[in-house]
């Protein structure tokens, strides 16, 4: 389960960076990066109480 959460978090962060750099949409990119940090198994995770 931790590996799956880690992969989802990585995809979200990479998508956020792509949105910021390629599409110039800073707000949406920041939202994706923050979601990636929240979903990730390390540190803060919204799936762990």
pLDDT in tens, 19-43: 999 989 999 999 999 998 888 766 5
- Token pair 């792509």 is found at 18
Q: Is 16 helix (H, G, I), strand (E, B) or coil?
A: helix
Q: What pLDDT digit, counting tens, does each position of 12-21 carry?
A: 999 999 999 9
Two structure tokens written together for 35: 């979601």
pLDDT of residue 40: 76
């Amino acid at each position: 389960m931790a590996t799956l959460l880690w992969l989802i978090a990585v995809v979200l962060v990479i998508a956020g960076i792509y949105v910021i750099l390629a599409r110039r949409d800073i707000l949406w990119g920041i939202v994706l990066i923050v979601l990636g940090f929240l979903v990730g198994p390390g540190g803060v995770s919204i799936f762990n109480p």
